[in-house]
């Protein structure tokens, strides 16, 4: 059983396990007077009989250090009808709600966390459309990498993965059935993006990430101009649809050197920053505008010290479809044709005239000797 001690403020009013598998959580909270620092051991039930009782995420829902909370869509400014002549305006609420955040450290990149069993979700029996779950896996390298050479497509190394797990809301599900431009764009994205080649993204290249720091004074001067500015995920992204989950893997290894070096400065200060994060799709015509965020969350002082080791993959089996047995159709019979069972059997052939019936009994041998002579005597003359 793994244990880790976290020190946070005792103001835990409304503390909630955002994404634990059972109500009997493995975390223990010790209530104290305001202002007193308490220790909260967070443990996992590894090795227990039921794997469903494992703690699924690292962070808790709240507004104290080391937690996450909902971010309103109006925090982010998005494209409107008539862009670029029309200025950007506040976005509407997202279709999904962030219900869990996990920070993982590993020696190499891991794609498709849900399919590999690293992030465990209550998956449905059938594939749903639109998917119930949206998982965005940002793979941040620990080192900036080469300066002048272009990173290869399979660039890899030690990294931290920040996975945001989002669930489709009831209102979002109803909106996706309407003719809202952002809803239609998302449905088209789900149909076209998974089949696109990685090096030639068209619809998949419309996925955008917006990251903003609440207090710009906490940012280096060189990074303030990029605060709350969207970043397109093109060749660095891969999309996977698995049962009722859509997983978007973002490999920062493939970013340019300037972007990677800027992010390394930012990640080193995660523990001191309050970040707003949102995901959306880029609208490129008035028919696809205004844009709307898919999901948004606020991360409160979530540094790499909260990361847990990447567990080994435990692939989740895809749901097997039951094969329907095809019933063999009988070929139609022509008119006037009757079933063979209804045809009366032919009459038995008549015995030859003049031949007596063969008796059955103990005198069979004697009768067999007398029979030829008797038959010859009873034959009529020609």
Span 146-187, pLDDT tens digits: 777 778 888 899 999 999 999 999 999 999 999 999 999 999
- Mean residue pLDDT of the chain comes to 78
Q: Which residue has the higher pLDDT, 370 or 27?
A: 370
Q: Which residue has the higher pLDDT, 285 or 362?
A: 285
Give the mean pLDDT of 31-36. 36
The segment with the largest mean pLDDT, out of 94-98, 226-230, 316-320, 373-377, is 94-98
Give the mean pLDDT of 216-237. 88
pLDDT band at 259 (very low <50, low <70, confident <90, very high): confident
Could you give the 3-state DSSP secondary structure of residue 55?
strand
Under 8 Å CB-to-CB from 257, ≥6 apart: which residues? 144, 145, 146, 147, 148
Q: Is the pLDDT of residue 346 over 90?
A: no
Q: Which residue has the higher pLDDT, 178 or 369?
A: 178
Q: Which of 123, 121, 52, 165 is nearest to 318 (CA)?
A: 123
Q: Is the pLDDT of residue 365 over 80?
A: no
pLDDT band at 89 (very low <50, low <70, confident <90, very high): very high
Question: Using alpha carbons only, how large is the chain's radius of gyration in Å?
Answer: 37
Q: Is the pLDDT of residue 333 over 80?
A: no
Per-residue pLDDT, 22? 36
Q: Which of 94, 279, 247, 219 is nearest to 161 (CA)?
A: 247
Could you give the 3-state DSSP secondary structure of residue 115?
coil
Percent of the residues in the chain that have a pLDDT greater than 70, as a whole number: 68
φ, ψ of residue 297 in degrees (nearest 5): -155, 160
DSSP assigned state of 139: E
* Cα atoms in the Cβ-side hemisphere of radius 13 Å centred on 193: 23
Q: Which residue has the higher pLDDT, 159 or 144?
A: 159
Per-residue pLDDT, 104? 95
Per-residue pLDDT, 273? 94
Other CB atoms within a 10 A radius of the CB of residue 55 amount to 22
Q: Is the pLDDT of residue 33 over 60?
A: no
Beta bridge partners of 6: 40
φ, ψ of residue 329 in degrees (nearest 5): -85, 130
Give the mean pLDDT of 344-369. 58
Q: Look up residue 203 and give its two tokens.
A: 């619809």
Per-residue pLDDT, 281? 97
Domain ranges of the chain: 1-55, 57-309
Q: Is the pLDDT of residue 335 over 60?
A: no
Per-residue pLDDT, 237? 93
Percent of the residues in the chain that have a pLDDT greater than 90, as a whole number: 49
Per-residue pLDDT, 48? 37
Give the mean pLDDT of 205-214. 95
Per-residue pLDDT, 331? 58
* Cα atoms in the Cβ-side hemisphere of radius 13 Å centred on 284: 7
Beta strand pairing call for 245-251 and 133-141: parallel
pLDDT band at 222 (very low <50, low <70, confident <90, very high): confident
pLDDT band at 25 (very low <50, low <70, confident <90, very high): very low
Per-residue pLDDT, 266? 85
Per-residue pLDDT, 30? 37
> How far is CA 74 from each of CA 8, 68, 91, 269, 288, rounded to the nearest angstrom?
29, 18, 5, 26, 19
Q: Is the pLDDT of residue 278 over 50?
A: yes
Q: Look up residue 7 and give its two tokens.
A: 């020190």
* Residue 127 burial (C-beta neighbours within 10 Å; 0-12, 13-18, 19+): middle
Q: Is the pLDDT of residue 353 over 80?
A: no
Q: Look up residue 186 and give its two tokens.
A: 């998302």
The segment with the largest mean pLDDT, out of 2-11, 52-61, 356-365, is 52-61
Q: Is the pLDDT of residue 361 over 80?
A: no
Q: What is this structure's pTM? A: 0.70
Position of tokens 């862009």? 83
Q: Which of 218, 263, 245 is nearest to 118 (CA)?
A: 245
Decide if 354 contacts 329 (C-beta within 8 A).
no
């Amino acid at each position: 059983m793994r244990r880790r001690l976290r020190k946070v403020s005792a103001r835990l009013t409304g503390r909630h396990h955002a994404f634990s598998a059972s109500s009997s959580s493995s975390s223990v909270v010790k209530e104290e007077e305001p202002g007193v620092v308490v220790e909260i051991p967070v443990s996992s039930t590894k090795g227990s009989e039921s794997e469903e009782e494992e703690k699924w995420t690292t962070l808790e829902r709240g507004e104290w250090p080391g937690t996450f909370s909902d971010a309103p869509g109006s925090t982010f400014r998005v494209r409107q009808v008539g862009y670029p002549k029309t200025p950007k305006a506040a976005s509407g609420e997202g279709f999904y709600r962030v219900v869990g955040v996990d920070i993982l450290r590993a020696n190499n990149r891991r794609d498709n966390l849900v399919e590999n069993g690293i992030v465990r979700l209550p998956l449905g029996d059938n594939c749903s459309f639109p998917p119930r779950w949206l998982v965005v896996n940002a793979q941040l390298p620990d080192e900036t990498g080469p300066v002048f050479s272009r990173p290869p497509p399979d660039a890899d190394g030690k990294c931290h993965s920040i996975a945001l797990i989002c669930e489709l809301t009831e209102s979002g599900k109803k909106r996706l059935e309407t003719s809202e431009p952002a809803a239609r764009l998302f449905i088209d994205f789900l149909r076209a993006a998974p089949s696109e080649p990685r090096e030639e993204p068209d619809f998949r290249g419309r996925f955008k990430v917006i990251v903003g720091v609440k207090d710009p004074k906490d940012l280096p001067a060189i990074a303030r101009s990029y605060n709350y500015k969207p970043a397109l995920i093109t060749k660095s992204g891969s999309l996977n649809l698995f049962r009722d989950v859509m997983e978007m893997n973002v490999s920062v290894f493939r970013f340019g050197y300037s972007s990677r070096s800027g992010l390394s400065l930012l990640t080193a200060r995660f523990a001191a920053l309050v970040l707003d994060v949102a995901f959306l799709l880029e609208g490129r015509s008035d028919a696809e505008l205004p844009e709307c965020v898919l999901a948004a969350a606020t991360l409160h002082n979530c540094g790499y010290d909260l990361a847990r080791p990447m567990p080994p993959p435990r692939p989740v089996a895809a749901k097997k479809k039951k094969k329907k047995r095809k019933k063999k159709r009988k070929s139609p019979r022509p008119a006037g044709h009757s079933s063979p069972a209804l045809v009366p059997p032919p009459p038995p052939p008549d015995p030859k005239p003049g031949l007596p019936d063969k008796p059955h009994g103990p005198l069979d041998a004697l009768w067999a000797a007398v029979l030829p002579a008797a038959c010859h005597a009873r034959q009529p003359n020609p």
